[in-house]
Structure 1
Amino acid sequence: MTTLEPATDAAQDNLAALESEAIHIFREVAGEFDRPVILFSGGKDSTLLLHLAIKAFWPAPVPFPLLHVDTGHNFDEVIDFRDRVVEQHGLRLVVAKVQDWIDDGRLEERADGMRNPLQTTPLLDTIAENKFDAVFGGGRRDEERARAKERIFSLRNAFGQWEPRRQRPELWNLYNGRHRPGEQVRVFPLSNWTEADVWNYIAREKVELPSIYYAHRREVYQRDGMWLAEGPWGGPRPDEVVRELTVRYRTVGDGSCTGAIESTAATVDEVIAEVSASRLTERGATRADDRMSEAAMEDRKREGYF
């Protein structure tokens, strides 16, 4: 087991600065927009977003609802955690179920079984239906190249599409939320955080996460270099051998495209040590949906995805 040194004063100062920036962003949005919403899946980044939102407005309740675009291919542990957190804090949760869009013909199931790429239409429809004008997401610049290009306040057009040429400068923590009727702004309070920052903050604040972020035994099979779990999304194929391994998840999404990693990191400190030694981001290591093309994420962002 790896023993971690106590966090340095500089590291604690960095976390304090990141926290302060995020809380400032939440309060700015509350003051500038009429109908904000937080994207919340129960994953670590959206859980951290909610934790920061609670801090930003305490002792008042969080003044806007949560939105989960539910692929129907989620891990049971994550959905149970999501519902428990919502009940614990007395929050309103809006759920857009991809299955509803498939059932009524607005979407078609993909041949590969992945549903992450199908989230865009339910997301945009739900934003329009509820007239949400600011949508908080947990995206970070260190995750993926397309996310590294995006501002903290990311203007989207009336179709929810990202237009890089319309990105606005953000100097001295001044954020421009102006938008035309029908447009929306995606807001990323964690833009400047790294995966290590997220885990160090989780350790400092003792933020609870779904159990699958820590080492556990699970039946998995290997596909395209990733360990996938059996579930309603299909698999394994006849030539794919199921093994029971000690694994954990670095990121949580649609079960058909989110891979586990072999790991014995069962505590926050052990996860921090493991993340510190990794040369790959969590999406680069375990997300098949980002491997569909060199510009997979950017293509989806242009269509309206996060």
Structure 2
Amino acid sequence: MFKGSWVALVTPMDQQGNIDYISLEQLVSFHLENDTDGLVIMGTTGEASTIAFADQLKVIDKVCQQVKGKIPVIAGNGSNSTSDAIERTKALDKLAIDGFLTVTPFYNKPMQHGMVLHFNAIAAVTDKPILLYNVPGRTGIDLQAQTVATLSKTTNIVGIKEATGSINRLVELKSLCSNDFALLSGDDETSAEFMLQGGHGVISVTANIAPKQMAKLCQLATTNQADAAYALDKTLQGLHRQLFIEANPIPTKWALHKMGLIHSDMLRLPLTPLEPIHAAVIEQALNLADIQLEHLINTRSS
């Protein structure tokens, strides 16, 4: 199940910062129509850190009802408190999700042994599969390869979203984990190389904007069609970089709004909408990826 192009979906909001369920439905339809392999709801890109858990449950339930099993849906359940993550997992387990994305405990900076205990305690309260999520640039802690190998022996810990951007880390993980342990890139800029070197897919921010292209990139790279994969990735590198010119998901929401896919580019504080000075470089990246903003807006409004 955990292979190909998964989108780290944004959570659309109106001008007051409330969840925009109409735009959410439109986004999910966009991915169902454009070859996305799976949806990740309420991760970093979904602004889970500023959305009350009751609202997270409602969003995830709405997505599951719309998708109806057409593609898998996994939900973020992480916390820097093990007991809180356990309670979140129990509540989410009642929904029609296909698994969990569980981030390393942020801010606390636990030891590696503490993270083994943390993830195993969460895994013990669900039968659904769990993807570990290692993003040291966000959390302040690195889930080391040997620790991942230890956790991979837990029956329902089935893979990892590895967002260090290090191909050396991928090589290390491949050497320590079994072949059926899913290795997904969490770094768009290096994702093509990650898959060409044996990774199974990507959980992507860029896929919010260019789902069909990211799905094709995954198909090419995971079947070792290197020249074609590199050629396609070259057209996406601008997006990979510029969607992080400000904190994720600020640029992504701006682009989706310009594409007519969400009604507003609003975020919840402390995140704020894109600074106008950065608009031109994102537009340039969109053009390089052959995404025409006015064309899409006209298509959506007709």
TM bin, normalised by shorter chain, reads 0.3 to 0.5
- Higher helix fraction (1 or 2): 2
Pick the structure with greater CA Rg. Answer: 1
